């Protein structure tokens, strides 16, 4: 049984002065059993969010706290890389990290090879990783969506020790977020069936690469302008295990609605386990 995960990507929003209050408000309103919650603020807000989420009263009914994630990480452990943050620097601040987000691919020119190095650096430091993949509009219209995502997954996982990327300690080390780039901030929307078909294709690639259990243990999230109004269509698909939420993750009402719907999916899957926390404590 795969876990249900809702990860909030705050992108370049909030400051250390207001991030803690926002994180605490969201945590208090999303205490749904069986849902792994992760908040990924900007680097400068990691400590404020970590401290705000340390309150045990913010945990879900089964003791599941909100985890803290970083939005990016450098592929080297140290060196002359001005302005960069290594995985070891995140120790004590975050337990999850996003790699390969479409905005990093677009704005920083990140390649699959580079993203793969980031993934391995994060894994070596013990960070749970959300790997983002997804196609552009022209690629989908040309009928190449699955081929593009297949190549991204293969490129990012090349050289990875796949046997170490499965479930360990009741939690996934690797989670994949499918984010169709054409559905992010464009007004266009993907369908639940589109996301489910891609999730199946992703697991097919993982199986072909030799992932233990054919990749069936790897959660696949949907990330494409997710809102409380649209999340139901995606979580109705058995192949989809949650969401990577962008702009809506800054709005407590939206996050409450998204996680509430995720809680229904978790309950239907029998994911609740009273007394057995599903997520890492805040870093």
How confident is the model over 82-130, as pLDDT tens digits? 999 999 999 999 999 999 999 999 999 999 999 999 999 999 999 999 9
CATH number at residue 72: 3.20.20.70
SS3 category, 243 = strand
Catalytic residue among 32, 74, 101, 110: 101
% residues pLDDT > 70 (the chain) = 93
How confident is the model over 191-209, as pLDDT tens digits? 999 999 999 999 999 999 9
Number of domains present in the structure of the chain = 1
Report in angstroms the alpha-carbon separations of 96 from 137, 193, 195. Answer: 29, 28, 23
101 an active-site residue? yes
Predicted pLDDT at 274: 42
Q: What are phi and psi of 130, to 5 degrees?
A: -105, 110
Which residues constitute the domain of residue 161? 4-268
| Alpha-carbon gap, residue 98 to 188, rounded angstroms | 24
In the block, which residue shows the tokens 């599941």? 64
How confident is the model over 5-25, as pLDDT tens digits? 999 999 999 999 999 999 999
Q: Is residue 273 part of a domain?
A: no
150's tokens: 């297949």
Q: Is residue 113 part of a domain?
A: yes
Q: Is residue 226 part of a domain?
A: yes
Q: Is residue 278 part of a domain?
A: no
Catalytic residue among 103, 135, 146, 179: 179
Please give the model's pTM, rounded to 2 decimal places. 0.94
């Amino acid at each position: 049984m795969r876990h249900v995960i809702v990860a909030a990507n705050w992108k370049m929003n909030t400051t250390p002065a207001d991030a803690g209050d926002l994180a605490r408000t969201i945590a208090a309103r999303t205490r749904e059993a069986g849902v792994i919650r992760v908040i990924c603020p900007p680097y400068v807000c990691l400590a404020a969010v970590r401290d705000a989420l340390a309150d045990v009263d913010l945990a879900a009914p089964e003791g599941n706290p909100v985890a803290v994630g970083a939005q990016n990480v450098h592929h080297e452990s140290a060196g002359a890389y001005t302005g960069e943050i290594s995985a070891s620097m995140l120790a004590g601040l975050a337990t999850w990290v996003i790699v390969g987000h479409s905005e990093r691919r677009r704005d920083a020119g990140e390649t699959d090879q580079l993203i793969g190095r980031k993934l391995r650096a994060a894994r070596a430091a013990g960070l749970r990783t959300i790997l983002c993949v997804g196609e552009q509009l022209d690629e989908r219209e040309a009928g190449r969506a699955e081929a593009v995502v297949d190549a991204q997954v293969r490129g990012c996982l090349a050289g990875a020790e796949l046997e170490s990327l499965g479930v360990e300690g009741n939690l996934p080390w690797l989670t994949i977020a499918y984010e169709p780039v054409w559905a992010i901030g464009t007004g266009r929307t993907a369908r639940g069936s589109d996301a489910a078909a891609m999730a199946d294709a992703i697991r097919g690639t993982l199986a072909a690469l030799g992932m233990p259990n054919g990749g069936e243990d790897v959660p696949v999230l949907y990330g494409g302008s997710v809102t409380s109004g649209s999340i139901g269509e995606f979580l109705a698909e058995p192949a989809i295990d949650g969401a990577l939420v962008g702009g809506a993750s800054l709005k407590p009402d939206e996050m409450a609605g998204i996680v509430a719907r995720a809680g229904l999916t978790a309950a239907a899957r029998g994911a609740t386990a009273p007394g057995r926390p599903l997520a890492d404590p805040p870093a």
